Chains A and B, each alone.
Chain A
Amino acid sequence: TADEEAKDEL
């Protein structure tokens, strides 16, 4: 969701 930070990195 937009209010969480995106998590595509390790």
Chain B
Amino acid sequence: MNVFRLAGDMTHLSSILVLLLKIHTIKSCAGISLKTQELYALVFITRYLDIFDRFTSIYNFLMKLIFLGSSLSIVWYMRRHKAVHRSYDKDQDTFRYQFIVLPCLLLALVINHKLTFKEVMWTFSLYLEAVAILPQLVLLQRTRNIDNLTGQYVFLLGAYRALYLLNWVYRYFTEPGFVRWITWIAGLVQTLLYADFFYYYILSWKNNVKLELPA
């Protein structure tokens, strides 16, 4: 494992901690898209179907458990916890699942390394993760007042993806034969989706003004 990969994982973990902090201590999920959170839960469930029969390392195993547990608990909080649920911007969070899930599923059935259930589900999880942020970005654009924690959450998620890109560049040059087209293209698309957000996030940080995305 290289430093970019570790930094990427830690950034991903931080993003989840920031979101849990907001939900657990402030009891608010204002500005957070439940659709995106449910898609992430689906991403982890379909990606880690092999959690008990393919062992790579203690680190990977524990991280998989953390990602599964945290994503499911966030969905539970937003749906079932009364105070948290009240703060949910349901009327603004209108992105439709089927526009994301169905194309990803079809693509995974067509473009994969092996036509088996687990491999197709794993490939589906990569495609789904690439676009799962879309409902959140749409919601951000509609939210007049993006609070700091929400802004930080999305920024950390984007940073995690950028660090994974660096990790792949590093591995390409240090590991002979390291080529993973499906992972790379899905990862690149995912990172590019954050470009616009990054631009306005850094601008607001530089000018020390509240983050607001143009309509």
Interface residues of A (CB under 8 A from B): 1, 3-10
Please name all residues of chain B whose beta carbon is closer than 8 Å to the beta carbon of A8 when the two chains form the complex: 56-57, 60
Q: In the complex, which residue of chain B has the Cβ closest to the Cβ of A6?
A: B180
Q: Do A7 and B182 touch (CB < 8 A)? A: no
A9 touches B113 (CB 8 A): no
Contacts A10-B9, A10-B60 given: A5-B67 contact, CB under 8 Å? Answer: no
Tell me whether B122 is interfacial, beta carbon within 8 Å: yes
Contacts of B57 on A, CB cut-off 8 Å? 8
Number of B residues with CB within 8 Å of any CB on chain A? 21
B119 and A4 contact, CB distance less than 8 A: yes
State the CA gap A5–B152 with chains docked (Å). 32
Residue numbers in B under 8 Å from A5 (CB-CB):
113, 119, 122-123, 180, 182-183
Is the beta-carbon distance between B56 and A4 smaller than 8 angstroms?
Answer: no
Instruction: State whether B114 touches A4 (Cβ < 8 A).
Output: yes
Top 10 A-B pairs ranked by shortest CB distance?
A: A5-B113, A3-B114, A4-B114, A8-B56, A4-B113, A10-B63, A4-B119, A3-B113, A5-B180, A5-B182
Contact B67 A9 (CB under 8 A): no
